[in-house]
Amino acid sequence: MTGSPHPAGFLLLDEAWVPVLDAAGQRRDVSLLGLFEEAPQLRMIACELPSQTFAILRLALAILHRATDGPVGETAWRALWRDDRLPLTDITDYLGEFRHRFDLLHPDEPFYQVAGLRADKDNTYGLERLIADVPNGMQFLTARAGTGIDSISPAEAARWLVHCQAFDPSGIKTGAVGDPRVKNGKGYPMGIASAGALGGVYLEGASLRETLLLNLIPVAPDWRAADELDLPAWERPAQTAVEEAEKTRGPYGVLGLYTWQSRRIRLFGDRAGITGAMISNGDPIDWQDRHRLEPMSVWGRSGPREKQQKRVPVYLPRPHDHTRALWRGLHTLLPPAPPPGSEPQQRLSPLVQQWLARLTVTGIVESDRRVLHRAVSVTYGTQNAVVDDVYGDSLTMNVLLADEQSPLRTAALDAAGDADAAVKVLRTLAANLVRAAGGSGTENGAADRAAEDAYSLLDRLYRDWLAGLGPASDLADVRTTWQRRVQGAVRGIGDDLVAAAGPDAWVGRLVKDRNDVEVHHSTSQAEVWFLRSLAKALPMAVDRTHQHEEVPQ
C-alpha cells in the first residue's frame, strides 16, 4: 500500500477519539489501536448516541475480521475466546499496512472521505448536516447553537463522520462536481445511509474484548459469498465523486457492509478544529434478502415485495418500534421456532444471535452466562430527510435464549404476552369507568394513560425477571412468579382507578355494547369484570373467584 501519514494529519490509529467506559465506570477517549490493546480492561464503547456506538463498533469489527483472517471457522474463534487478550500483533501488523488510510486529514486519501470533493460553486458548509443531534434549520432546539457549532475537534468530527456514513438521512445533498447524477447543482435523494434501514442488534459481554468476539462471526462458505471480493473501504481504491459500479462495490460480505460508503464527504479544517463538511450522494444499497450477509439486524418478510415479485419469502431488515420498550417486542428480537413443515418464518433473528446459540449448544460458551442484547435503530421523518429519533434499548438474557428451541425462550415470550394480556384488561377497566361516569368519547384516552402507567411499572419488573432466567430455572415456578408480579402491579393501578372514579361512576348508567344491547356500567360492576378478566389473563397467579359475572362484549 502506497502513501504515508501526513505530518499535519490526524491519525485515528494513534489519536484518542473513540469514547469508552473503563471497568471503573470512567469515561475517556482512546485511539483505534488503544481500543484493541485495552479491550480486556474496557467495559464498552460509549458514544453520544447509541447509533454512533453501533457504527464505530462495526468499524472495529471490520478491522478485527481482517486481522484474524476471518476468523476461519469455529476452532479459530474458540482460540480467540479462550485467550485473555485480542491478537494485538496481528492487529498492529494489519493496520500498519494501511496506516495512512486512517488519517482523517490526509491530502490525497482522507479516511472515509473524498479528497478535493467540491461543488460547482465552491460553496462553504457548516457542521449541522454532519452532526445528527443538530436538527438542520432548527438550531434553537439544541445546546450546540451559536459558537458551539462553528468548530469541533478532529476527534469529534471522526465520530460523526463514521456515523454519517452509516445513518445519514436522505434528502437533497450538495451536488459534487464529476457526479453524473447531479442536476442543477443538487444531488437528489437516493435514500438513507446503509445502517439506517437496520433494526440493529449486537451482543455485549463483560468487557469490550468479549463484546468484539461475540459479534465476530467466523467466515465460512455458507455464511459469506465471494469472500475474496469483500474488502473494507481502506483496502479498496479511494472513492471519487462518482457512484461506484454495482459489480465492483457489492456488497459481498460484512467487511463491505460495515464500512459502506453511503456518502461522499469532505471535512474542512485542520488539527485545530473542523469547521465544515460537504456531504454528497455516495453508493446506494438494496437490503433485500441480505440476511445471510448482514449479521447485526432483525429481519422480516415483506408482503408488498413478495406480491410484486411473485415469490416467497422476501426479507428486509426491520427497524425497531421506537414507541415500545424492547421487551414488549421480544417476538421480533427472539422469533419463535416455526412448526415443522410450515411456511417460511415471518421474522428472522440476527446472525449474531444465531451464532451465540451455536456457541451455547456446542458448549463453547457456558450455559449459565448472561449477555446484554443491545438494540439500535433510527427513525426518519419528512420523506426520510431528517432524523426524528434514535432508539437504544437493551435486555440482559441468559445465552440459552438465543436458541430457537430453548424452553427459556418460549417462557420469555409467553411472559411478555402475559403482560400484554393483563394491560389489555386494565385498559378495559379504565374505559368502563369512563363510560360509567358518562364520559363517552374519552374512553381511549383514559385507557392509554392506564396502559402507559402499567407498562412503566412492568418495565423494570420484566427486565429483572428475564435477567434471572437460567438453565436451573423451574419454568412453571418462574412463570407463576412472573404472573403474580404482573397481577400485583396491574391490580394496584386498577384499585387506584376505582378509588378515583367519582360519585357519577358509582351510580352508573346504561351503555350499549357492541351488540347494541344495553348493559349497566358502574364502578362496582367494572371492578368485578376487571377482576374476573385479570384472573383469566393470569391463571397461574390468581384464584378464579370472580367469574360469576359476564363481561360485556
Per-residue model confidence as pLDDT tens digits over 310-326: 999 999 999 999 999 99
Lowest mean pLDDT among 53-57, 109-113, 194-198, 511-515: 511-515
- Among 55, 85, 81, 95, which Cα is nearest to 198's? 55
Distance CA 32, CA 40 (A): 14
Per the structure, how many domains does the chain have?
1
Residue with cell 449486537: 202
Terminal-residue alpha carbon distance, the chain:
73
The pLDDT assigned to 288 comes to 97
Distance CA 317, CA 200 (A): 9
* Alpha helix (H) residue ranges in 329-474: 330-333, 351-361, 407-436, 443-468
Percent pLDDT > 90 in the chain is 80
Cell of 216: 465476530
C-alpha distances (whole Å) from 296 to each of 183, 200, 202, 318, 325 are: 36, 6, 6, 11, 19
Residue with cell 415469490: 311
- In this predicted structure, the answer to whether residue 211 has a pLDDT above a threshold of 80 is yes
The pLDDT assigned to 482 comes to 98
Q: Domain for residue 448, yes or no? A: yes
Distance CA 279, CA 302 (A): 31
Q: Domain for residue 526, yes or no? A: yes
Domain that holds residue 417: 408-537
For 366-375, b/e burial (b = at least 16 CB within 10 A) is ebebbbbbbb
- Tell me how many degrees the CA angle 462-465-467 measures, rounded to the nearest 5: 105
Cell of 441: 368519547
The pLDDT assigned to 1 comes to 46
Q: What is the CATH number of the domain that holds 414?
A: 1.10.132.100
Distance CA 116, CA 123 (A): 13
Strand positions, DSSP E, 39-180: 42-45, 173-174
- In this predicted structure, the answer to whether residue 81 has a pLDDT above a threshold of 50 is yes
Lowest mean pLDDT among 86-100, 262-276, 382-396, 512-526: 512-526
- In this predicted structure, the answer to whether residue 72 has a pLDDT above a threshold of 60 is yes
Q: Domain for residue 471, yes or no? A: yes
Distance CA 261, CA 140 (A): 31
Q: Domain for residue 430, yes or no? A: yes
- Indicate the pLDDT class of residue 337, thresholds 50, 70 and 90: confident
pLDDT digits (tens, 9 = 90+) for 141-169: 454 555 557 899 999 999 999 999 999 99
Kindly state the DSSP code that residue 152 receives in the 8-state scheme.
B
The pLDDT assigned to 225 comes to 43
Residue with cell 433485500: 288
- Indicate the pLDDT class of residue 552, thresholds 50, 70 and 90: low
* Beta-bridge partners for 317: 299
Residue with cell 447509533: 51
- 16 or 223: which carries more pLDDT confidence? 16
* Beta-bridge partners for 277: 267
Q: Domain for residue 518, yes or no? A: yes
- Indicate the pLDDT class of residue 363, thresholds 50, 70 and 90: very high
Mean pLDDT of the 508-535 span? 85
Can you give 225-238 as a three-state secondary structure string?
Answer: CCHHHCCCHHHCCC
Q: Domain for residue 396, yes or no? A: no
Integer-rounded Cα radius of gyration of the chain: 27
Residue 57's contacts (CB-CB under 8 Å, 6 or more residues apart) are 45, 202, 211, 212, 215
- In this predicted structure, the answer to whether residue 98 has a pLDDT above a threshold of 70 is yes
* Beta-bridge partners for 376: 200, 392
Residue with cell 438542520: 136
Q: Domain for residue 549, yes or no? A: no
The pLDDT assigned to 529 comes to 92
The structure's pTM equals 0.92
**266 within 8 A of 173, measured Cβ to Cβ:** no
Per DSSP bridges, beta strands 200-204 and 186-187 are: unpaired
**135 within 8 A of 258, measured Cβ to Cβ:** no
**280 within 8 A of 263, measured Cβ to Cβ:** yes
Residue 285's contacts (CB-CB under 8 Å, 6 or more residues apart) are 191, 194, 251, 260, 262
Burial (Cβ within 10 Å: 0-12, 13-18, ≥19) of residue 467:
middle
Mean pLDDT of the 10-31 span? 97
pLDDT digits (tens, 9 = 90+) for 451-468: 999 999 999 999 999 999
- Indicate the pLDDT class of residue 509, thresholds 50, 70 and 90: confident
- In this predicted structure, the answer to whether residue 402 has a pLDDT above a threshold of 80 is yes
**335 within 8 A of 347, measured Cβ to Cβ:** yes
What mean pLDDT is reported for the chain? 91
Q: Domain for residue 501, yes or no? A: yes
